[in-house]
Amino acid sequence: MKNTNLLILASISGILQGIFNTFGTVAGELLSAAGYADYCCSICGALYIGGGVVGAAIYGCILSKTQAYKKAMISQCIASIAVLICFMCFFSFQNCWIAAVLCFSMGFASIPSIVIAVDLGAEVTYPTNESFSTGIIMICGQFFSVVIIIFTSSILDKTAKVFACDITFLILAICGMLALYLCKPLKEDLIRTAFEQEVK
């Protein structure tokens, strides 16, 4: 593959997908380990997905008008890191409402990255079929998800519960920082948009 820009984009998106897939996978275990009630786990799970849906809709509307894909991806990385740091600070309070707000924010801050990556992927690989770039992005997402889930799950199994929660959040935040670092060489080559404007 010669399109390094797509590989960078797929890596960024893959890491962010890994973060939200890992969080979604271990959230129940994290909440239980910190002493949250079962009903709180259900509320947090629903708000996590809800936050992602709301975020995807908002980002989709903004990008359709601005096409500021790189800025949107950077904002996703920064927001994910910020929310994870907030989790490290407030998770041990055992306040269901705080946890619910943070879970909603986590969904909002990470899930829309798929929308951004798929759209930008179609731009940078044009005129190649969009399914090619989408496939690469999804494969990277699954790869990073498996790696991060296995790593964090092993920590949760072997470490003292509350400490393990903080370590998990720290690992996910570091992953977010890596994704943010990779945003620097990412280029907004809007090839498809440029072609459509020439045709008009």
* pLDDT value for 70: 92
| Joined tokens for residue 39 | 């009903």
Which run of H or of E encompasses 95?
none
Mean pLDDT per 10-residue interval, the chain, length 200 residues: 82 94 87 83 91 93 90 95 92 88 93 91 85 92 94 80 84 95 89 73
* pLDDT value for 187: 87
Q: Long-range pairs for 42-47 at CB < 8 Å and ≥24 separation?
A: 43/96, 43/100, 44/96, 44/99, 44/100, 44/103, 45/103, 47/100, 47/101, 47/103, 47/104, 47/107
* Spatial separation of the C-alpha atoms in residues 40 and 73, rounded to whole Å: 30
Give me the phi and psi of 184, to 5 degrees please: -60, -50
* pLDDT value for 34: 78
CB 196 within 8 A of CB 173: no
* pLDDT value for 127: 79
* pLDDT value for 32: 81
* pLDDT value for 125: 85
* pLDDT value for 182: 95
Domains and CATH numbers, the chain: 4-30+38-195 (1.20.1250.20)
Q: Report pTM.
A: 0.90
Burial class (CB in 10 A: 0-12, 13-18, 19+), 140: buried
Whether residue 127 is preceded by a cis peptide bond, meaning omega within 30 degrees of 0, is: yes
Sign of CA dihedral 38, 42, 47, 52: positive
* pLDDT value for 196: 72
